[in-house]
Amino acid sequence: MTGRLETTLVGGRPLSYRVRRSRRARKMGVHVDRRDGVVVVLPWRTALKVVPGLLEGWADWLNEKVEEYGVRHGPEVKQYATGSEILVLGRPRRLVITALSAARKRPRFDLADEILAVELAPDDVFAPREQLEKYLRRLARADLNERAAHWSDAIGLYPGKVIVGERTTRWGSCSPRGTLSFCYRLVMAPERIIDAVVAHEICHLAHLNHGKRFYALLDQACPWHREAGRWLKDHHDDLLV
């Protein structure tokens, strides 16, 4: 769980951060990106009092990164309203947001070529981000499971399970037990890019590494995977909700 936004002096300059405790973490760490800002990862029982000293030890690097990403005072949260655009399957869709009638309770989404029409509860109309994220998660679960099935048949390798959720460091992963995990925000990317990520993880079912045999299999299955990797690196910040 990530805590509330805190501020301290780092290298003599104010810097805002959040703390996330992890039962898996063996040591302390600091991550910086546009979506989450500065996140300090602490092993579960580590005392909070160590955080200022940890940040000060990384002062030069942190001050450089927060300026690069524009997150010195915390991450910038996107605001959505009618007329805003959101990427879905690689295409910008203009939002048209209206209020549900009194007789309806459940949000409704209608995806068209150029428009994403959204009907929300009146309280959500002017703050639709949470409902948009839930919609993308649902869409991603259906889409990525379908693509995983397609690429499994094409390559001849089958996962034990497919999980779609939030990933902070990678777009996809494959566990030793054959579980594939994908970041739901992949559904914002062009379909060709999504396919390359799914094919990459399917190939890991045969080779849980990035050796020659892995790339030989991936090159055969998905020749454009390197192009897709470059696209994701260049457009990482576009795939944020």
Pair 56, 34 in one domain: yes
Give, for 85, the enclosing helix (H) or strand (E): strand 85-88
Pair 45, 116 in one domain: no
pLDDT single digits (tens) 169-226:
789 999 999 999 999 999 999 999 999 999 999 999 999 999 999 999 999 999 999 9
The strand pairing partners of 87, in sequence order, are 92
Cβ neighbors of 231 (< 8 A, separation 6 or more) are 189, 190, 193
Backbone CA torsion sign across 96, 100, 101, 103:
positive
Helix (H, G, I), strand (E, B) or coil at 174: strand
Pair 158, 114 in one domain: no
Pair 64, 121 in one domain: no
Instruction: State which residues form the domain around 46.
Output: 6-69
**Residue 115 domain-assigned (yes or no):** yes
Tokens 């150029």 belong to residue: 114
- Single pTM value for the model: 0.77
Pair 216, 165 in one domain: yes
Pair 104, 141 in one domain: no
pLDDT single digits (tens) 49-97:
999 999 999 999 999 999 988 899 988 778 899 999 999 999 999 999 9
- Report the number of distinct structural domains present in the chain: 3
Cβ neighbors of 200 (< 8 A, separation 6 or more) are 172, 218, 222, 225
Pair 144, 214 in one domain: yes
Give, for 98, the enclosing helix (H) or strand (E): strand 91-99
33: DSSP letter: E
Pair 122, 138 in one domain: no
> What was the pLDDT predicted at 235?
92
237: DSSP letter: G
Pair 123, 138 in one domain: no
Pair 165, 207 in one domain: yes
**Residue 211 domain-assigned (yes or no):** yes
Helix (H, G, I), strand (E, B) or coil at 136: helix
What would you measure as the largest C-alpha separation in the chain, in angstroms?
60
